Amino acid sequence: MEQTILLFEDEGYQSLLPLTYTRTAADIRCGVYTLRERLHRLYGQEPQALTRSYLADVYGSGRWPLQVLASNRPVLLINSRLIDCGCLAQIVDAPIGTILLSDDNNTARSGGTLVAARLSPSLASAVFAYLLEQNAQFAIEELTRFGTVIRQRPRMLNFPWDIIAANAEMIESDATLLERDTYLPALQHPDAALWQMYAPERIMVHREARIEGPVALDARDGVIIIGNARVEPFSLLQGPVAIHDGALISGARVRGGTTIGPVCRIGGEIENTVVQGYSNKHHDGFFGHSYLGEWVNVGAMTTTSDLKNTYGTIKVTLDGYGQVDSGRLKLGCFLADHVKLGIGVHLNGGSVVATASNIFGTHFAPKTIPAFTWGGERFREFRIDRMIDVARKVMGRRNVTLTAAQVAILQHVFAVTSQDRGDPDDDIFG
C-alpha cells in the first residue's frame, strides 16, 4: 500500500550539535548513504521531512507542511536519528496506529524514544505541532493513547561518535542497495589488470570510475565501493570503504571504516572517518576516527590525534551537555560544515570545531572551538558577512551556488551561537 514517508526530528538533535546546526540528523552520512538517501533506495520514494523552522526551506517540506496530509495515504513517521532501518520491517506494513518505541535512554532524553509510527493522516496531524517543535515526548504521550506499541532497540545516532562507531557496519549493509547496473564487480572493469587486489569479489566499481594503477585495493576486511570517482596512482584502499561520485583520491592511504562523500579531495592518511561531501583533505596529514562536514578545507600537514597516551577513553565537550565521556578508546575530531583549518594545525582527540570557524597560525588548536571563530594566536568572531563571502567563493569553485535559504541558515546559526563567542572584539579564549 502506498504511504507517505515522513522524517521527523526529536529532542536528540541537540546532543548531535554542532553537526546538526546546519542539517538534520537524517542528512548526516553514515555508511554509504544518509538516512534520507537510504530510505529512498529502500522504498523508491523521496522522504518528506518535518524539521526545525530555519532548516525547513532546505531540508524540510515547508514550515507547516500540511500538504503531506492532503491525501488519504497512511503516514510512516521515521525518526531522523535512525541508523538501522531493519527495524522498519515490523512497521512498514503494520496496522494503522502501530508505534515503534525504544527504551534506549541516554543523557539527551529523559524518556523513551519514538523511533517510527504508521499513522492515519488524522492521527499524524494530532502530533504535527509537537514534532515541528521537536517535542517527541509529547507526541509519544498522544500516540500511545490511541495506538499499539511495539518495542525494539535499533541503532540510532545519540552522540556524534555514534557516526564513527556505526560507519563500517553501515558500509557493508548499504552495499546491498547499490544499483547493480551501474556498479561492476572489480574483475570486470576494463582497467582491473592495473590494480593489485585482495578479495576482488568484494570490490564494486562504477563503470565510469578512473582508477589509475598502480593502486592497492584490499577488501579482505570489508567491501570497497568506488563510485564515479578518480583514484590516482599509489593509493591504498582498505575496506570497508565507500568513495562517492566526483571524489579524488590522491595517492592516499584510505583505511577501513571510511566514507568519502561526493566531490571530495583526499590525500595523506585517513582511517575510520566520514567526510560528508564537498570537502578537501588533499595533503599529507592524518585524520582518524573523525567526522568532517561539508565545505571543510584542511591545510597541509594538519593532523588529528585519535588515541590518548594513557589509553584512556576520550571525552568530548558538547553544546548544552558539557564534557561527556565517549567511552571510546579511539576518537578523533568533529569538524562541522564550512570549517577551515590552515597548515600544520594539530587537533587533540575529541576536538570539536563548530560551524564556519576558520583556524590558522596555531600549532595546537583549542579542543573546543565555538561556531564562527576566526584566528590562531588570538581568536575572534568571524563576521557573518565575511564568512558568507568566503562560502560563496568556495562553493563557486565546485560550481555550486550558495542559495538565499542556505544563507538564512548560516545567519540563524551565527545568531544563536553568539553567546558562545562573547564580545565580537574580544579574544574568545582570553
Condensed to tens digits (0 to 9), the pLDDT of residues 210-250 reads 999 899 999 999 999 999 999 999 999 999 999 999 999 99
Quote the radius of gyration of the chain (alpha carbons, Å).
22
Chain segment 96-136, per-residue pLDDT in tens: 999 999 976 554 455 589 999 999 988 888 898 899 899 99
Chain segment 62-72, per-residue pLDDT in tens: 666 667 666 78
Mean residue pLDDT of the chain comes to 93
Average pLDDT over residues 258-285: 97
Percent of the chain with pLDDT over 90: 81
Q: Specify the pLDDT at position 15.
A: 95
Task: State which H helix or E strand residue 153 sits in.
Answer: none
pLDDT at 373 over 80: yes
Percent of the chain with pLDDT over 70: 96
Give phi and psi for 328, each to the nearest 5. Answer: -105, 135
Average pLDDT over residues 423-428: 78
Q: Which residues make beta-bridge pairs with 220?
A: none
Average pLDDT over residues 82-95: 93
Is 179 strand, coil or helix? coil
State the cell numbers at 322: 558539557
Chain segment 323-368, per-residue pLDDT in tens: 999 999 999 999 999 999 999 999 999 999 999 999 999 989 999 9
Q: Specify the pLDDT at position 178.
A: 94
Chain segment 167-177, per-residue pLDDT in tens: 999 999 999 99
Of the ranges 111-115, 137-141, 144-148, 409-413, the best mean pLDDT one: 409-413
Q: Specify the pLDDT at position 295.
A: 98
Q: Where are the domains of the chain?
A: 4-158, 162-421
Specify the residue for cell string 588515541: 307
Q: Which residues contact 145 (CB under 8 A, 6 or more apart)?
A: none
Q: How far apart are CA 265 and CA 281, in angstroms?
A: 6
pLDDT at 58 over 70: yes
Is 383 strand, coil or helix? coil
Specify the residue for cell string 578508546: 329
Q: What is the residue type of 403? A: T
Global confidence as pTM = 0.95
Q: Which superfamily is assigned to 4-158 in CATH? A: Spore Coat Polysaccharide Biosynthesis Protein SpsA; Chain A (3.90.550.10)
How far lies 8's CA from each of 12, 17, 220, 315, 336, in Å? 11, 17, 38, 29, 21
Q: Specify the pLDDT at position 354.
A: 97
Which CATH architecture group holds 162-421? 3 Solenoid (2.160)
The most distant pair of C-alpha atoms in the chain lies apart, rounded to whole Å, by 63
Peptide bond into 233 cis (omega under 30): no
More confident residue, 400 or 428: 400
Q: How many CA atoms lie within 13 A of 197 on its CB side?
A: 21
Specify the residue for cell string 488519504: 72
Helices (H), 44-120: 56-59
Give phi and psi for 64, each to the nearest 5. Answer: -140, 80
